[in-house]
Amino acid sequence: MDFENIMKRIAPPSNRPVRVKPMNQSAIVIRLTLLSLVILTIIGFFTYDDTDVGMLEGITATFTNFKVMFTEPHFNHFTFMEGLYQVLVTISLALLTTVIGAVISLMLGLLAAKNLSTPKISNSIKNFVAVVRAVPTVLWVLIFAIAAGLGSVAAVIGMTFHSVGYLIKAYSESFEELDDGVIEVLKASGANWWQIVWQAVIPSSMTYIISWTFLRFEINFSVAVAMGAAAGAGGIGYDLFMASSFYLDLRELGTITFYILVFAILLEIVAIRIKRHINIT
């Protein structure tokens, strides 16, 4: 068989009609939403007041501030070891919320998976976590701050609450990718629900679970930096807030930014190595 005949078998004929996905309600809503955002963006560009700020002057000042931040960092209100301790506080806050959220989400994710639960329970949990994810983390922290007060307690509860909503969706979708035939075989052999979970669902989804958990840990680290300023949770975020809003010290702001960047890169390297090790084994 020559090359031309092979390509005719692989490639579809050019005169074959292309299937077009019919327009449904969800597609209409998505397109209207995108169109509305485009229109609002265009209106915003033409209506915002820029009489006191010139575009060229603003860009020049921005690059000047970046140059001062990243080429002239210094320690003024804290030492190197104090900054290192504050970063570890932020990482501890992110780690604590991730671990608590992962433990809670694992059980609720099993109940939210359609192939492991009833449709009523699955839909109820998924609808609840959809509402949780729709509210930003900082709002959950401020909501819980009413009861617990501003500080690390409200930050941990609010971040954990949002982490649970995020991880339940991720875990349940990973569990639903398991072949239904495996579950049916285990049921036919007399395995109960717990045996199906621990012998089939968890082992086959372990890579996804760890990947999603580390992704949420990286998100929680960045959120913990913001919560240090917004909710008074402490850590490097509080120093970042003080340097930018009270001390107006761009050089110290650059030092704090270097702290955050270095530890964010280290966390990414650790996550990649663990994922690679899991994929090998």
pLDDT by residue (tens digit) across 161-205?
A: 889 989 998 998 888 888 777 778 888 888 788 888 888 888 888
Query: What are 200's two structure tokens?
Result: 């089939």
If 0-12 CB within 10 Å is exposed, 13-18 middle and 19+ buried, where does residue 251 land? middle
Backbone angles phi, psi at 48, to 5 degrees: -75, 150
User: Mind listing the pLDDT tens digit for each residue in 44-99?
Assistant: 877 776 666 667 777 888 888 888 888 888 888 878 888 888 888 888 888 999 99
Confirm whether 38 is domain-assigned: no
Confirm whether 71 is domain-assigned: no
Q: Is the pLDDT of residue 30 over 50?
A: yes
In which band, very low, low, confident or very high, does the pLDDT at 39 lie, cut at 50, 70 and 90?
very high
Residue written as token pair 């919560």: 227
Confirm whether 12 is domain-assigned: no
**Average pLDDT for residues 135-155, to the nearest whole number?**
80
CATH number at residue 178: 1.10.3720.10
Local structure of 75: helix, strand or coil: coil
The answer to whether residues 175 and 201 touch, using CB atoms and an 8 Å cutoff, is: yes
In which band, very low, low, confident or very high, does the pLDDT at 7 lie, cut at 50, 70 and 90?
very low
- Distance, in Å, from the CA atom of 231 to the CA atom of 249, rounded to the nearest integer, reads 22
Q: Residue 167: its pLDDT value, please?
A: 92
Closest by CA to 98, choosing from 13, 2, 11, 209, is 209
Confirm whether 157 is domain-assigned: yes
What integer best gives the mean pLDDT of the chain?
81
Confirm whether 175 is domain-assigned: yes
**Number of folded domains in the chain?**
1
pTM score, two decimals? 0.74
Confirm whether 72 is domain-assigned: no
Confirm whether 56 is domain-assigned: no
Q: Residue 21: its pLDDT value, please?
A: 59
Q: Residue 99: its pLDDT value, please?
A: 93
Q: Is the pLDDT of residue 6 over 80?
A: no
Q: Residue 232: its pLDDT value, please?
A: 67
More confident residue, 23 or 4: 23
Q: Residue 45: its pLDDT value, please?
A: 76
| Range of the structural domain that residue 98 is part of | 82-280
Q: Is the pLDDT of residue 279 over 70?
A: no
Task: Tell me the DSSP string of 230-268.
Answer: HS---SHHHHHHIIIIIS--HHHHHHHHHHHHHHHHHHH
Closest by CA to 78, choosing from 233, 249, 226, 223, is 249
Q: Residue 59: its pLDDT value, please?
A: 82
DSSP state of 13: P
- Distance, in Å, from the CA atom of 148 to the CA atom of 157, rounded to the nearest integer, reads 9
As a whole number of Å, the CA-based R_g of the chain is 25
- Distance, in Å, from the CA atom of 17 to the CA atom of 240, rounded to the nearest integer, reads 59
Confirm whether 34 is domain-assigned: no
DSSP state of 113: -
Q: Is the pLDDT of residue 1 over 60?
A: no
Q: Residue 252: its pLDDT value, please?
A: 87
